[in-house]
Every structure is written in C-alpha cells, then in structure tokens.
Structure 1
Amino acid sequence: MEHTDFFKVDFWEMIIRTTVAFLVLLILARFMGKKQISQLTFFHYVTGITIGSIAANIAGESETPFMDGLVAMIWWAVLTIVMNYIAMKSKKARILLDDKPIIVIRNGEIEEEALGKARLDLNDLNMLLREQSIFSIKDVYFAIFEVNGTLSVMKRTGLENATKADVKASTKQPKYIPTEIISDGELILENLSELSLTEQWVDEQLKKQGINRVDQVFYAEIQGNGELHITKKVEKNN
C-alpha cells in the first residue's frame, strides 16, 4: 500500500514538473525570438541545447530541486536575451559571440590562410561545395564560410542556374563581390579596405542618392556592378 502511494505521488510530481517546465520553456522560446529557435550560430546552438537540457532535468529527474532548475533555466534565457541585445548594439560584441564570415575562395583562388582561420581543410571545403552541386573549385568565383557553418557561393558568370532573365545576360565577371559597407549608420572600414574603396567614394555615392551623411543609412551593400543598394534609417517621430 505504501509502495503504491509513493508511486502515485512520484507520478503526479513528474506530470506537474513536466507541464510547468514545458510551459516555461515555451514562454522563454517566445521571448528569445526566432533567431534563437533557428540556431543561426554556434552561440545560439549551445544556448538552445543547454536550456533544453535544464528543462529535461527538471521534468525527468526527481533529485533535481524544482525551483533551482526553474531559476537556472530562466536565468540562462535572460543572459541569452541580454547578450543578443548587446550584440545588436555593438559590432565587437557581435563578432565575439558569433564570429564573422570568412572568404575562403576569392576570384576563383582558395585562400589558404582563411581556411585555417575557419578550421576547414580541403576535404571539408569540397564537401560543402558538393552539397550545393558544385564539384569543381574552378566553377566558383567567391565562397564565404558563414557564421552558422554553411558555405555561401557565387558561381562564375555563365555557370549560374539559368532563369528567364539570363537568356540575354552578359558573361562579364562582376567588378565586386556584394559586400556590406555600412551597418547601422557606421562605415565598415575593413570591408572598404578589402574592396580598395575610400570613404570619399562612399560619400559621393550617397550624395548621388540624395543622402548627405552616413548615419542616415541603416544598411548599404555594394553590388557586383559597383552600385550601392541602400536602406535608409527610419526617422523616429519625437
């Protein structure tokens, strides 16, 4: 009789713990946003696993103090939200948390030093290319190893998947790789340097589009033909 009563108490305790952990996890996932759920970077991947593990311990381990586990899960989520906010406001923090994309193939040539920084070997690189149905490096114009571990590829002109617009397309190689040069009102000097562009050139391009200051631009990206694609900052009404 005593054994049966103990089983009932333990059973309902697990049901309650699991239900509460599930609801709290659901709420935390909503607050942490879609970026956390999609696990875009290693940081978000690790955070997602950790919070899930804490929730599993709360639900399935009766030895784990319920409130201690709940506080740990909520606090971990709060730290994640705070770090995401800091990363949004600070480029240095964003690089620290998420790292930054690395160009591993430039103008059809493999960047050996960049491969080392990305901790990729040639077998890894070829595997990532084959996943995009590219079996020869010579078919690649640029390849960028993204912060989420995927490879973004720009094929050589003439080798892209055909579209209706490609019927009369030029086979001339693009002048630039599309690159971010303004982020949240600030020039990305490192990218300008890699593209051999100057701040004066950027100012001239902005003025052509009726923009007098860099801080009026939310995002600007140079296109393959040298033109700027610009998104202006939204003016806030006081």
Structure 2
Amino acid sequence: MPEHFEVIIRSICTFGLLLIGSKILGKQTIAQMTLFDFIATIAMGAIAANLGFNTNIKVHHLLLSFSVFVAVVYFISLMSLKNKRARKFFAGDPTIVIQNGKILENNMKKMRYTLDYLNQQLREKGVFNIEDVLYAIVEVNGSLALLKKPQYRSVTKQDLSIPINLEQRIPIELIMDGKVIEKNLKQNNLSQIWLERELNKRKLKVDEVVYAVLAANGNIYIDTYKDNIISPLDKE
C-alpha cells in the first residue's frame, strides 16, 4: 500500500479512536479541564497523532498505549468519584484569592497566580473594583467564581417581593432547519395540529422556519429564513 494512502486510513481511524475514547471518559475532559485532565488529554493526543502519521511505529503498539491511557484515566475518574482523598489529589482544591475585598497574596503565590490575570478574570465577570468582592475563588479548572458584597449584588424580584410566574420546564425546540422535531412534540404532549395552527396564525409554513422554540413562559419564538432586514449588521 502506498504510504500516503496508509497515512489517510490511519488518520481516519485515529479520529474514530479519539471519539471513542472521549465517549468513554465523558464530558469532563472538555467541560472540567483540571490539571489531571489536561495531562491525560495531551498524552492521548500525542499518541493519536503518532498513530495517524508515524508509519515507523507499529499500529498495535500505539493502540495498546492509547488503550492503557484511556483505561488508567477511566479508573482514576471512577476512584475520584468514590474517594474524596483521591479526588483532592488528582483534581486539587479551589483556592480563595479575595476575602472581604482583600487580596490573599500568599494563596496567589502558591498557585503562581498574577495580579494581572486576577484583574482580567474580574473584568470578565463585570467587576472593576476589588472592594466590591466578598469572596473570589479560583476553581480547580482555572475559572474564577466570585460573590459580591450584598450592597453590590443585582436586585432580584424576590428582593422586591414582586410576584413571579413559576417555570416548570425548559424551552422546547419545535422546528430546526425547516423540519419539525417530532420527538420533542411527543415527549411534551404537543400535537402537530397545534404547531400548524400556531404557524398559520403567523402565516408561515414549516419549511420557511429556521428555528422555533416554545419558551418556559409559554411564548413561541420563531425565526424565519427571510428576516426582511435590508442591511444586516454582520454583512461583510
């Protein structure tokens, strides 16, 4: 077999292998990238890359190495779920960097966490004054969670004793790309006739709709292919 054909086949197989590995390990590899997850992901990526283009290394050796890595990561993930000490060792602990408007320099030094990066993350949270912060915590995945002092928090309807309508469900997607999502209709006891009636009220057909969703408050949001916008703002 010509070498370039072998590389193409190996690359396709590598993509499938990475997909299977990601499914086995779960979404935490992407959504909750701890230090352990980062190391595991880099290592598996390097093995997969070699499997894709390095024809000098035997395929079964790379498959064995990749399988061992997936098994080790999976085993450690299970152990972390059942054992708090293991979870703490592999994932680490959150670190408080601001307490009652005061920066905890020693905690920041231990993490090698700079003031510039702290200010950047605060600005991303809409905070420009450190004195507004009651607590700021660096999570194990590197993100910053913060709690503002009571006087600087946004006012809620509960604070003002304003009556609210309880929302018992999440938004339900009805139409996507001009096609009715029949599964969602059945799961929520909604009929095709009801949907057609709602579209008729707006003088629309299903194939004219890009996206339709039933919001938690009972309102229907509908976006059509024809937006009737003369000068779109995102037009290049």
TM-score bracket for this pair, using the shorter chain length = 0.5 to 0.7
Residue from 129, 134, 138 that aligns with 2:127? 134
Aligned to 1:57: 50
Alignment check: 8 A CA contact 2:47 2:66 kept: yes
Is 1:114 paired with 2:111?
no
Alignment check: 8 A CA contact 2:99 2:135 kept: yes
Alignment check: 8 A CA contact 1:39 1:45 kept: no
Say how many residue pairs are matched: 162
Is 1:144 paired with 2:137?
yes
Matched letter for residue 19 of structure 1: I
Offset of residue 39 of structure 1? 4.2
Aligned to 2:226: none
Deviations 1:42-82 (A, max 9, x none): 21122112212211111112122211111111111111011
Q: What is the percentage of aligned positions where both structures have the same residue?
A: 35
Alignment check: 8 A CA contact 1:21 1:70 kept: no
Is 1:73 paired with 2:62?
no
Deviations 1:142-184 (A, max 9, x none): 1111111111000111322344334369xxxxxxxxxxxxxxx
Is 1:20 paired with 2:23?
no
The runs of 5 or more residues in structure 2 that have no matched partner are 163-236
Residue from 124, 140, 152 that aligns with 2:117? 124
Offset of residue 92 of structure 1? 1.5
The runs of 5 or more residues in structure 1 that have no matched partner are 1-7, 170-238
Of the structure 1 ranges 112-121 and 100-109, higher mean CA displacement relative to structure 2 is found in 112-121
Deviations 1:90-144 (A, max 9, x none): 2121111111001111122222222222321322222221121211110101111
Is 1:87 paired with 2:71?
no
Matched letter for residue 143 of structure 1: A
TM-score normalised over the length of structure 1: 0.63
- DSSP-derived class of the 2:158 partner: helix
- Provide the rounded CA distance (Å) in 1 between the counterparts of 2:32 and 2:96: 22
- DSSP-derived class of the 2:150 partner: coil
Is 1:30 paired with 2:39?
no
Residue from 149, 154, 161 that aligns with 2:154? 161
Deviations 1:201-224 (A, max 9, x none): xxxxxxxxxxxxxxxxxxxxxxxx
- Provide the rounded CA distance (Å) in 2 between the counterparts of 1:48 and 1:162: 42
